[in-house]
Structure 1
Amino acid sequence: MKEFIQILRRFLPPYKKNLLLNVIFNIISAVATSFSFAILIPVLNILFESDKDITSIGEFQMDFDYIKEVLGYYTTQIKYEYGIENTLLIVGSFYIIATLVKVGTQYLASYNMIFIRNSVVRDVRNQIYTKVVDLPLSFFSEERKGDVMARITGDVTEVENSIMNSLDMLFKNPIMIIVLLGSMLFMSWQLTIFVLILLPISGFIIGRIGKNLKKRSGEGQSKMGEILSTTEETLSGHRIIKAFNAEDKMKVNFDEQNNSYRITMNRLQRRYALAHPMSELLGSVTIIILLWYGGRLILGDSGFQASVFIAYLGIFYSIINPAKALSQASYSIQKGLAAMDRIDMILTAENTIKEAEDAIEIHDFTDNIRYSNVTFTYDNKVDVLRNIYVDIEKGQTVALVGQSGSGKTTFADLLPRFYDVAGGRITVDGIDIRKAKLKSLRALMGNVNQDPILFNDTFFNNIAFGVENATQEEVERAAKIANAHDFIMATAKGYQTNVGDRGGKLSGGQRQRISIARAVLKNPPIMILDEATSALDTQSEKYVQEALDNLMKDRTSIVIAHRLSTIRNADLILVFKDGQIVERGKHDELLAKSGAYSVLHEMQTNNKI
């Protein structure tokens, strides 16, 4: 319960007004419930004890006998004036009015709680998505995408179905129970003390059943994350699965995960399903014991009336359903807390890329980029980059070459602060990028990656992505520079044609040219190109290379190159090996050295790679 209260403190403060209204309406509803049963007592006395009329009211006393006396007096007056049958109708009308007040305020309480519940679920989703967008790339290299998706979808749904749907019960039922118990205590303290002895015993038994529910629920959500991860990997790698005849292997793997989830959910839901029958049984046992004890009081010399006992039973019966719902809510909350724990793994994840409090706004790039003794490691393990010194002057094209894993991509990723250096520093116009505002730093740069990232949207929106208020003319101009305008216009709706999931309706070269058009429209002074042509056929490479040449005009470019033929005219070529720059210079200079670059060039020339 402590964890649940902490969750309420986190998410409910913006909705205090609605919460207060909910509590007020629930109190009115509970009082109306008690009153509706209390006014039945005089009617029952008329039916069972018609000879006992009350013709006067004594001095005011704060006890139940005085209330009975008042109700009995006015009932007697009505009976004298209108007769017994009409009295039953009149008192029944008061019962209907009390019931109308009860159900009306119940609706108003639920009306406010619905607003709170749906608003909190929206806030949780927004917080998760915002956090996911803000988290650094390093977080997602350590987490499985399917598991992250499970937390955003399944776990949030579980919180909605469990914790949020239990809010109404948790704010309504305790109030109902407290008010009705107060009424019962007012009517007969002996019976009520007896009830208060029985209810904790029932609660203890139900609590024992739900003890491990949170743990089981956490296991279920974790296994669902594995299923989503496998599904995501299957959709992404469908071509490879078929190419390697691995369909049966993937089916067996998925079946094992799915069956494991089934077993866990069987255990969880069987325990959860036990809550209702168990509370039903315990409620029945409690009523029978209460009937026995109440009968003893009536038949004894306690002065306890049968009419009062019937009304008492009516109030007690009204407590049973809230008590049962409260016990079931505790089950749901345990499931929801397990889901919330998994959500908090994202919400509380540390964003290692932090912006300095006195961060500087960079408005333009005018001089140079400098890597000074830069070192970088993943998870404080083996150095990926060691002692990197590089000066990149404005307008230069700098090419990075080397074997896979030599540190080229990491070198480029450090500049927009996708990761932070472990040692040394990187400056732009003499400003340490860790002291610059992130958005202003990244606004100076455009990216074109080996695997172009397109969204399931139109050509226009993909090209204009990240650029506010882009016009049709600007988008078309960018597409023409990227050699994309002609094939876009050949589609049914032109720039309003949807490109499909991840650009699935386009060829690799077309996707790359849309990616280049996006960078052209952004018009940044610094371009980072990560092997943008390595996965293309010769014809596509020709179109894309022309687009890249157009893109790099009058810009500072960092080009990660696989095909050395594309960087012959680079102003500076950096040769990486095992995280270090082993050679640097222009194409002809490096060939003349007969070193690592010359070896790479010879291997490509002779088609050995």
Structure 2
Amino acid sequence: MFILKKFIQYYKPYQFLFYMDMVCALTMSMIDLAFPQILNLLTKGLFTQSSAEILHGIGYVGGGLIVMYLIRYGCQYYITSWGHVMGARMESDMRQDLFDHLQRLPFSYYDKNNTGEMMSKLVSDLFDISELAHHGPENLFISILKIIGSFALLMLIHVKMTLILLCVTMIMVVFSVYQNRKLKAIFMDNRKKIANVNSRVQDSLSGIRVVKSFANEEIESEKFKSSNVEFLDSKETGYKIMGSFHAGNNFFEGLLYVTVLVFGGVFIANGTMQLTDLAVYALYIGIFINPLDVLINFTEQFQKGYAGFKRFVDVLQTEPEIVDKEDAISLTNVRGEIAFKDVSFYYDKTTEVLEKVTISIEAGKTVALVGPSGGGKTTLCSLLPRFYDVTEGSVTIDGKDVRDVTLKSLRSNIGIVQQDVYMFAGSVRDNISYGKPKAAEEEIIKAAKNANIHDFIMSLDYGYDTYVGERGVRLSGGQKQRLAIARVFLKNPKILILDEATSALDNESERHIQASLEQLSKDRTTIVIAHRLSTIRNADEIIVINDRGIQERGNHETLLLQDGLYAKYYNMQFEGLEELNK
């Protein structure tokens, strides 16, 4: 019932279209039911009169029938066109709701779910839901109306014959319900298997350069073949069940005609039925069987749509772990004073990443986090904009707990340049202006100059309008990194997080960018994650973190004098440079 109520909610904005669709469906059903009755009346009335009277009256009858079928034409047009429009609009609303909800879900959801599966829910699942939204109520309404109407009219013609047909129909219903249960399970399995196929395609194509660089096309082909065959097996099983379902119901439909023919002959023989009644009865059997066919097809459509909608609702029921409090305030007039107080963090509440970490950063200062991979540096920085929430302790900005302020205002005041740079499929301008969507052209150019990328952009064929390709495939790693830095220049936040921001740059570019970043960092609180220790010599404080927590802290000179972990890391890099220079 919950699934049904959720589904009905999407009809509310389109009530007029829905009710008009039902009115048209009712009109069509009444017209279809009327024709055999009109024929019955003519055979017992007008057609029993003289030739002159028949010729005189048949023109009026024909004209009336033409008007009736013109009305039916209009109703059929509305159902086919505007009925589908209604379904398409509902599908669009569902897709928007699903996409918006996916945007609200935290990083932890994406850590556990595959992009290909999410794409399957956004596209293929919702198409079947759209078809169900349009045809479902209409087919159900028309079919029930025709079955009840034709059954009532059949009872008026011959009660005993109709009761015999009812017995055959009930056996048909029991058979359909039994087969329907099998279809429900197989269509849900179909959804899961096609999601696996989409997942495999997305994963392989996204990493196509890695695939080709390792010459592993055959391996990827085998992995895809496995998922593809699983989906094929699921489809084949489904088609076999559908085959017995449709064939069985067609057998029972044929049995209805046999019943009419055999028992009609018996009733005519004993004088309880007239030959003309049997002819009209046969016409109504056609009207009675047609909605049964529709209901049989509807069952398949319903199971596909239900399976898709259930997966859709399952995602919508996934509550975002990170949301604004009801009384959340806006973070304004940010100075940039940051404090991590006894912060602990566990992935999935089991895997410990940080344990009782306490760090205070004064407004406008630059703090660098260094240490081996897996020590929790990036995780610590991810707690500041609330990509994840702390398990214990608190993170504050200017004394305000980040959980007490709105996410939009919090993240608007934090600029991030990540190690893994993402470029959107669009122009250079689009990617820079992502930092400030309504920025003027002059602001975009200034940001590009600050990031030392303007001259390169102007050397491109279309300048700032040059298409960068999917994920920025037409740019080098250093160029993408500088565009990402330009985004942050444009955003101009009070707090900066630089996660290996210069890692993809050559030495010359690094010097230019480092100077720009130092300029940008003035009067702003900056957290730098760096493995290239040459980029953090001027940091106000350097904190050394490994899997056992904070090990050392101080400025560059102090830590070198301590001759501890930092000195070890620094000397390793310095010795490496010396070896290269020999």
TM-score of the superposition, structure 1-length normalised? Answer: 0.89
Shift of 1:469: 2.1
The 3-state SS of whatever aligns with 1:527 is strand
Instruction: Write the letter of the residue equivalent to 1:139.
Output: Y
Shift of 1:7: 4.6
Q: Does 1:95 align with 2:65?
A: yes
Distance 1:270 1:316, change over 3 A: same
Residue 471 (structure 1) aligned to one of 440, 444, 447? 440
5 Å-filtered alignment, 1:197-346, equals 197-302=167-272, 304-346=273-315
For 2:109 and 2:548, locate their aligned partners in 1 and report how far apart those are by CA, in whole Å.
22
Equivalent residues of 1:169, 1:329 under 8 A apart: yes
The 3-state SS of whatever aligns with 2:498 is strand
Identity %: 34
Instruction: Write the letter of the residue equivalent to 1:259.
Output: V
Distance 1:102 1:311, change over 3 A: farther
Please give the per-residue CA displacement for 1:517-557, whole angstroms capped at 9, x wherever unaligned. 11111111111111112233334433443443343233211
For 1:29 and 1:240, locate their aligned partners in 2 and report how far apart those are by CA, in whole Å.
59
Please give the per-residue CA displacement for 1:133-161, whole angstroms capped at 9, x wherever unaligned. 11000001011222222222232233334
* Structure 1 counterpart of 2:426: 457
* Structure 2 counterpart of 1:184: 154
Distance 1:345 1:8, change over 3 A: closer
For 2:488 and 2:445, locate their aligned partners in 1 and report how far apart those are by CA, in whole Å.
13
Instruction: Write the letter of the residue equivalent to 1:523.
Output: N
For 1:464 and 1:83, locate their aligned partners in 2 and report how far apart those are by CA, in whole Å.
83
* Structure 2 counterpart of 1:522: 491
For 2:133 and 2:166, locate their aligned partners in 1 and report how far apart those are by CA, in whole Å.
27
Please give the per-residue CA displacement for 1:24-46, whole angstroms capped at 9, x wherever unaligned. 22222222222222111233236
Relative to structure 2, which stretch is displaced further, 187-196 or 574-583? 187-196
For 1:269 and 1:167, locate their aligned partners in 2 and report how far apart those are by CA, in whole Å.
25
* Structure 2 counterpart of 1:383: 352
5 Å-filtered alignment, 1:66-77, equals none
Please give the per-residue CA displacement for 1:440-497, whole angstroms capped at 9, x wherever unaligned. 1111011111121110011111111152421111111111111111111111221111
Instruction: Write the letter of the residue equivalent to 2:99.
Output: Y
For 1:99 and 1:183, locate their aligned partners in 2 and report how far apart those are by CA, in whole Å.
21
Equivalent residues of 2:46, 2:54 under 8 A apart: no
Q: Does 1:442 align with 2:393?
A: no
For 1:564 and 1:124, locate their aligned partners in 2 and report how far apart those are by CA, in whole Å.
49
Relative to structure 2, which stretch is displaced further, 284-293 or 224-233? 224-233
Please provide the CA RMSD for this pair. Answer: 2.4
Q: Does 1:505 align with 2:469?
A: no
Equivalent residues of 1:19, 1:112 under 8 A apart: no
Please give the per-residue CA displacement for 1:177-232, whole angstroms capped at 9, x wherever unaligned. 33333333344433333332222211222333332222222222222222222222
For 2:69 and 2:403, locate their aligned partners in 1 and report how far apart those are by CA, in whole Å.
66
For 2:275 and 2:290, locate their aligned partners in 1 and report how far apart those are by CA, in whole Å.
24
Relative to structure 2, which stretch is displaced further, 334-343 or 486-495? 334-343
What 5-or-longer segments of structure 2 have no aligned partner?
none
Equivalent residues of 1:117, 1:164 under 8 A apart: yes
Equivalent residues of 2:128, 2:301 under 8 A apart: no
Instruction: Write the letter of the residue equivalent to 2:16.
Output: K
For 2:515 and 2:92, locate their aligned partners in 1 and report how far apart those are by CA, in whole Å.
46
The 3-state SS of whatever aligns with 1:364 is coil
* Structure 2 counterpart of 1:64: none
For 2:133 and 2:303, locate their aligned partners in 1 and report how far apart those are by CA, in whole Å.
8
* Structure 2 counterpart of 1:73: none
Q: Does 1:32 align with 2:28?
A: no
For 2:287 and 2:104, locate their aligned partners in 1 and report how far apart those are by CA, in whole Å.
50
Relative to structure 2, which stretch is displaced further, 494-503 or 286-295? 286-295
The 3-state SS of whatever aligns with 1:450 is coil
Stretches (4+) displaced over 6 A: none
Instruction: Write the letter of the residue equivalent to 1:378.
Output: Y
5 Å-filtered alignment, 1:128-139, equals 128-139=98-109
Relative to structure 2, which stretch is displaced further, 314-323 or 265-274? 265-274
* Structure 2 counterpart of 1:542: 511
* Structure 2 counterpart of 1:55: none
Instruction: Write the letter of the residue equivalent to 2:296.
Output: S
Equivalent residues of 1:359, 1:437 under 8 A apart: yes
Relative to structure 2, which stretch is displaced further, 472-481 or 537-546? 537-546
For 1:326 and 1:319, locate their aligned partners in 2 and report how far apart those are by CA, in whole Å.
11
Shift of 1:105: 2.6
Aligned residue pair count: 578
Shift of 1:162: 5.2
The 3-state SS of whatever aligns with 2:560 is helix
* Structure 2 counterpart of 1:193: 163
Distance 1:505 1:533, change over 3 A: same
Shift of 1:167: 4.2
Equivalent residues of 1:448, 1:529 under 8 A apart: yes
Distance 1:224 1:30, change over 3 A: closer
For 1:187 and 1:540, locate their aligned partners in 2 and report how far apart those are by CA, in whole Å.
93
Equivalent residues of 2:83, 2:134 under 8 A apart: no
Q: Does 1:567 align with 2:530?
A: no
Distance 1:446 1:499, change over 3 A: same
* Structure 2 counterpart of 1:42: 41
For 1:100 and 1:290, locate their aligned partners in 2 and report how far apart those are by CA, in whole Å.
32
Shift of 1:123: 1.4
Equivalent residues of 1:509, 1:541 under 8 A apart: no
Equivalent residues of 1:30, 1:102 under 8 A apart: no
For 1:526 and 1:447, locate their aligned partners in 2 and report how far apart those are by CA, in whole Å.
9
The 3-state SS of whatever aligns with 1:426 is strand
For 2:279 and 2:132, locate their aligned partners in 1 and report how far apart those are by CA, in whole Å.
36
* Structure 1 counterpart of 2:318: 349
The 3-state SS of whatever aligns with 1:358 is coil
Equivalent residues of 2:190, 2:234 under 8 A apart: yes
What 5-or-longer segments of structure 1 have no aligned partner?
51-75
Distance 1:292 1:322, change over 3 A: same
Please give the per-residue CA displacement for 1:423-454, whole angstroms capped at 9, x wherever unaligned. 11111111111010110111101111112111
